Amino acid sequence: MGRTKNDILQGTLTLLVLQTLAARGPAHGYALCERIQSASDELLRVEEGSLYPALHRMQQDGWLKADWRLSEKGRRAKFYAVTAKGRRQLKKEAESWDRLIRGVALVMQPLADGADA
Amino acid sequence: MSLAARIANIFRARRIEAEVDEELAFHIAERVDQLTAQGMSRPRARREARRRFGSYIRQREETRDMDIVRILEAFLGDLRFGARQLRLNPGFAAVAVLSLALGIGANSAIFQLINALRLRSLPVPSAEELVSIENQGRFMRSGWSSGRHDIYTYAQFELMAEHQEAFQSLLAFGTDRFNLSRGGEARYAQGLYVTPNFFQVAGVSPMLGSWISPDTDPHDCAGAGVMLDYAFWQRNYGGDPAVIGKEISLNGRSFPVLGVTPPAFAGLEPARRYDLAVPLCADRLLDEDGQGRLVNKTAWWLSPIGRLKPGWDVERASAHITNLSELIFRESVPESYQPDAARRYRENKLQAASAHAGVSEVRREMEAPLWILLASTALVLLIACANLANLLLARASVRVREVALRQAVGASRRRLIGQMLSESLLLAGCGAALGALLAYGLSRALLVFIGNNGYPVEMGLGLDWRVVGFTAALALSTCLLFGLVPAMRATRGAPADAMRGGRGSGGGGERHGLRRTLVVSQIALSFVLLVGALLFGQSLRNLLGSDTGIRSEGVLVAAIDTRTASLAPERRLEVYGRLQDGFNTLPEVASAAAVLMTPFSGSGWNESCHADDDPAHTDGDNVWFNRIGPGYFETMETPLFAGRDLGEQDVAGGPQVAVVNQELVRRFFGDQDPIGRSFRTEPRRGEEPDVYQIVGLVKDTKYNGLREPQRPIAFLPIAQDGLSPIDMEYVLRARGSFASTMAGVKRQIAEVDPGLQVEFRVLEREVAESVLLERLMANLSGGFGVLAALLAALGLYGVMSYMVARKRSEIGVRMALGAQAGDVLRLVLSEAGRLLALGLAAGVAGAFALSRYAASLLYGLEANDATTLAIGVVLLSGVGLVAVLAPVRRASRLDPAVVLRDE
């Protein structure tokens, strides 16, 4: 597990995609990569290899819908948008993410205070 | 996603793939734009973009697989769920799988035979171009016939080949068997006489060795030799390549082995094997008078097959050949035909038919019965499906609450139906797999059944796409048949209603209605099958009970062949006499007699004859002849009614005498005394008629089959046969076992002449084989009828049990109010009676409509035999009553107090 910088935690990719699409409107896969990267101040980098399978899975689960449109540069691209079901899912995942963060933070507290340098 | 959508997705895979490709290509293009904007060169940017993607190809496939994997995963999940459901209900699963396996197995077995006989193409290149020439309508064929399919003389074939324009070339073949042994017990091989172009037209080149040039003159016998079948070569020569050039003895004459055909080729007859083939001219070499059938215009022995020219199809070729008929028959009239015969001969018409599956007399005999059997097995399968649908409906009513609960928490109806169908599919799949195993054994058993000793029936029954497809289609359609309606019913109700629960009177009545409809149709279908079984069974009984005029039990037939003995023709009759005397001295033999053609052997000889007082202006009556030695009637135990037996006094050169049967007397002399009268044959042109004086009258006997209408038969003494036949048969009434009799006979033969050959047959078996088809139909349809009746009884039992369970409270209340057990009985029985009556009424109508298809296979009764219908009604009613006995008892024993407490 030598990689340090930007592996996205298993399971959070869905959350990030839903959030990004919900907040900033429909987008194609490439734009999604860029948006997540820039929104996270380049801390997170979406791996292209896992993005598309995730998009397709979410589309099948009915969280995303997709249609083909022309991109800004006039290329045909597949644009994804969040469905109502996806928004409900986003709410659920955001809540559990929130709980996870708080929980992890609480657990990490003593360590951060004490020993390690 | 619903099952349907997921299945659709599999078929959409290609489109999905293309979409994914396009999506990823877009991504890479954008990335390349970005990187080049940052100053990277285009090729490097492209490499970098792909690198970031990981392996582009793998990526692409993973993305696409996602869709398909999910489809399959969900489907497997459904299957697992189905399997779990079935494990919870092993009894149901076992009944379902077993009844489906029986139904599917029987269907698949019959289909394999139909496939091998009718559907599957011969394993030769472009088999669809092969076309056979066949008779059309009434066909006049008089003379000496030998061969299996529609057969023609060489003169006719020559004219066909010369004048036809439809075929690249035309081959012909005749069938025969050849004795391989040089003495002692005969050993036969199935042989073909073929035109020199036979293998070329068939598209087969020898795997080993060679064959004579296809352009050889058929009369030229210089290079004549033998082509071996691959399996025969393996069997008899252990696959030794050095066989080429070796000599092989056919009927005592040596021929060199020229070649071996490749393993896939087994001749042009789908149900027969061929062991070896010789050119047509070999017939001359093997013929004792050195003439052979190539020059005999009344020898019918050849089946022609042609390969269509490009641009020709079967219809066009058929019209062409029909047009040629007049020329062909005009130019080939045998000189010996009388004017009347010649006129009828010239009216013969030909046609062409596709021979992609080969030509086959087995097919002609078996095809109609096989389709009838396939229809029967399809009905059995339908009944089994109705049963399963009924069982599933019953289960669905048990699972109503579970289903309602799942619907209430959001499961879609399609999803639930999909899940239930997966369970049905699992059942059907297991049934089909087991059925396929069953079919494997059953189809082979059927083949053994329809074959006989002389000419074994062989078919390649290997699995091909048709058989696999047929079985799979059966599984799928049965699954839909028995699974879909129950699944739709089960998920239709509003969840809230079902949850409110109780005994739910809502949709129940209608559901019950469906189940009753299913049972009524089961009863109707099984009645049709039962009537079929009864008809075929009675036909067989009529046949077996018919009087043959002989006692075949305990009679051994010894067929003697003198070809391998160096015996002058004029000495043959003397040898036959010595054999007869020798056999009669054997202690194992009660009596023995020579006979030219043993009854039921398939050989025959007939001529048109007139009574002595008939001026011969009318058409003669066809009389069937045989030649016998002294003691024949005694050996066969045929009673002599008047006059005397043939005996030693009837010698060559004396007055020609005959013993005739009752039928001949009926036709020629009415009720007059026939002894001392005579009859004569219609002579061939330019010859004198034969006149036979009647010296004796015997009981009517069958000539070649149990089915045949009684024929007029005349028995002539062998001693007066001017032709001195090259082979002779002996009927021997055995005193001891057949084995010891055979040993004694062989000893006697060796004493007379060690070069003689013998082949043994058992007369009783030959008689039985003449009703093989009838036996097959009776046995199989009987089996299917019983199976169908059982399944229908099971269905009736199920529905009645269900009805009693549902009406439990009603019955309880009635009893509490004072109804007697008799009233309850009437309630239940009237319901059962109504179902039975409806089913039987529909069944009688169905049997009336369908039984005419079986008419041609029946013997001694009409297709709409009233007695048979009545027996069917009684039988099925009986079975039905037994089936409802248990539910009725259960109803009449209900304790009202217990019932009412439960409510």
Between A8 and B677, where is the model more confident?
B677
Q: Are residues B480 and B390 in the same domain?
A: yes
Contact A28/B at CB under 8 A: yes
Q: Are residues B725 and B708 in the same domain?
A: yes
Comparing A42-46, B264-268, B331-335, which segment has the lowest mean pLDDT?
A42-46
Q: B53-57, B344-348, B362-366 — which one is most confidently predicted on average?
A: B344-348
Q: Are residues B345 and B372 in the same domain?
A: no
Strands B208-209 and B130-136, sheet pairing: unpaired
Evaluate whether residue A4 is within a structural domain.
no
Token pair belonging to A37: 């990267």
Contact A52/B at CB under 8 A: yes
The whole-number pLDDT of residue B73 equals 73
The whole-number pLDDT of residue B606 equals 84
The whole-number pLDDT of residue B30 equals 86
The whole-number pLDDT of residue B679 equals 93
Residue B518 binned pLDDT confidence (cut-offs 50, 70, 90): confident
Evaluate whether residue A29 is within a structural domain.
yes
Q: Are residues B698 and B709 in the same domain?
A: yes
Evaluate whether residue A3 is within a structural domain.
no
Q: Best residue in A56, A69, A80 to probe B by mutation, most B CBs within 10 Å?
A: A56
* Cβ–Cβ gap A30/B63 under 8 Å: no
Mean of pLDDT values over B774-792: 89
Residue A4 binned pLDDT confidence (cut-offs 50, 70, 90): very low
Q: Are residues B712 and B839 in the same domain?
A: no
The whole-number pLDDT of residue B564 equals 77
- Please say if the pLDDT value at position B64 is more than 60: no
- Give the integer Cα–Cα distance in Å for B707 and B838: 37
The whole-number pLDDT of residue B446 equals 84
Q: DSSP string spanning B651-689? A: -TTS--EEEEEHHHHHHHHTTS--TT-EEEEPPPTTSPP
The partner residue sitting opposite A57, judged by closest CB among B20, B52, B66, is B66
Give the count of domains, chain B.
5
* Cβ–Cβ gap B26/A76 under 8 Å: yes
Q: Are residues B600 and B712 in the same domain?
A: yes
Comparing B161-165, B337-341, B399-403, B884-888, which segment has the lowest mean pLDDT?
B399-403
The partner residue sitting opposite A29, judged by closest CB among B27, B52, B70, is B27
Q: Best residue in A52, A67, A75, A78 to probe B by mutation, most B CBs within 10 Å?
A: A52
The partner residue sitting opposite A53, judged by closest CB among B1, B27, B63, is B63
The whole-number pLDDT of residue B585 equals 93
Evaluate whether residue A1 is within a structural domain.
no
Residue with tokens 């398939």: B602
The residues with which B248 forms a beta bridge, in sequence order, are B255
Radius of gyration of chain A (CA): 17
Q: Are residues B668 and B739 in the same domain?
A: yes
* Cβ–Cβ gap B27/A57 under 8 Å: no
Q: A97-101, B342-346, B728-732 — which one is most confidently predicted on average?
A: B728-732
- Please say if the pLDDT value at position B3 is more than 70: no
- Please say if the pLDDT value at position B505 is more than 60: no
Evaluate whether residue A6 is within a structural domain.
no
| Per-residue pLDDT tens over the stretch B383-396 | 888 888 888 887 77
- Give the integer Cα–Cα distance in Å for B119 and B223: 37
Minimum distance, in Å, between the CA of residue B67 and any CA atom of chain A: 8
Q: Are residues B304 and B446 in the same domain?
A: no
- Please say if the pLDDT value at position B507 is more than 50: no
Evaluate whether residue A103 is within a structural domain.
yes
Give the count of domains, chain A.
1
* Cβ–Cβ gap A56/B67 under 8 Å: yes
CATH number assigned to the domain comprising residue A20:
1.10.10.10
Residue B885 binned pLDDT confidence (cut-offs 50, 70, 90): confident
Minimum distance, in Å, between the CA of residue B204 and any CA atom of chain A: 55
Q: Which domain holds residue B529?
A: 505-548+769-903
Evaluate whether residue A7 is within a structural domain.
no
The whole-number pLDDT of residue A116 equals 44
Identify the closest residue of chain B to A48 by CA–CA distance: B53
Dihedrals phi, psi of B748, to nearest 5 degrees: -60, -45
Residues of A in contact with B66 (CB under 8 A): 53, 56-57
* Cβ–Cβ gap B22/A30 under 8 Å: no
* Cβ–Cβ gap A28/B26 under 8 Å: yes
Element (H, E) at B102: helix B90-114
- Give the integer Cα–Cα distance in Å for A1 and B246: 78
Minimum distance, in Å, between the CA of residue B462 and any CA atom of chain A: 43
The whole-number pLDDT of residue A2 equals 36
Q: Are residues B526 and B419 in the same domain?
A: no
Residues of B in contact with A29 (CB under 8 A): 23, 26-27
- Residue B639 to residues A93, B266, B545, Cα–Cα distance (Å): 103, 47, 18
Mean of pLDDT values over B148-165: 92
Evaluate whether residue A5 is within a structural domain.
no
Residues of B in contact with A30 (CB under 8 A): 26-27, 30-31
Contact A78/B at CB under 8 A: yes
Q: Which domain holds residue A46?
A: 12-113
Write down which residue in B718, B739, B768 finishes a domain: B768
Contact A88/B at CB under 8 A: no
The whole-number pLDDT of residue A8 equals 59
Mean of pLDDT values over B446-464: 70
| Per-residue pLDDT tens over the stretch B71-108 | 677 778 888 888 887 888 787 888 888 888 988 999 99
Q: Best residue in A3, A14, A30 to probe B by mutation, most B CBs within 10 Å?
A: A30
Three-state secondary structure readout of B705-719: CCCCCCCCEEEEEHH
Residues of A in contact with B26 (CB under 8 A): 28-30, 71, 75-78
Residue A3 binned pLDDT confidence (cut-offs 50, 70, 90): very low
Residues of A in contact with B52 (CB under 8 A): 48
* Cβ–Cβ gap B66/A73 under 8 Å: no
Q: Are residues B823 and B884 in the same domain?
A: yes
The whole-number pLDDT of residue B63 equals 57
Residues of A in contact with B53 (CB under 8 A): 48-49
The partner residue sitting opposite A60, judged by closest CB among B26, B29, B70, is B70
Q: Are residues B71 and B105 in the same domain?
A: no
Q: Mutual orientation of helices B465-490 and B413-450 as an angle, nearest 10°?
A: 140
B positions 17-56 inside 8 Å of A (CB)? 19-20, 22-24, 26-27, 29-31, 33, 52-54
Dihedral sign (CA B183, B188, B189, B190):
positive
Please answer whether residues A2 and A17 qualify as being in contact, where contact means their C-beta atoms are separated by less than 8 angstroms: no
Contact A3/B at CB under 8 A: no
The whole-number pLDDT of residue B1 equals 46
CA B215 to the chain's CA centroid? 38
The partner residue sitting opposite A75, judged by closest CB among B19, B29, B62, is B29
Here the ipTM equals 0.84
| Per-residue pLDDT tens over the stretch A71-91 | 888 888 899 999 999 999 999
| Per-residue pLDDT tens over the stretch B617-674 | 566 788 999 999 999 999 999 999 999 999 888 888 888 999 999 999 999 998 889 9
Residue B748 binned pLDDT confidence (cut-offs 50, 70, 90): very high
Q: Are residues B263 and B341 in the same domain?
A: yes
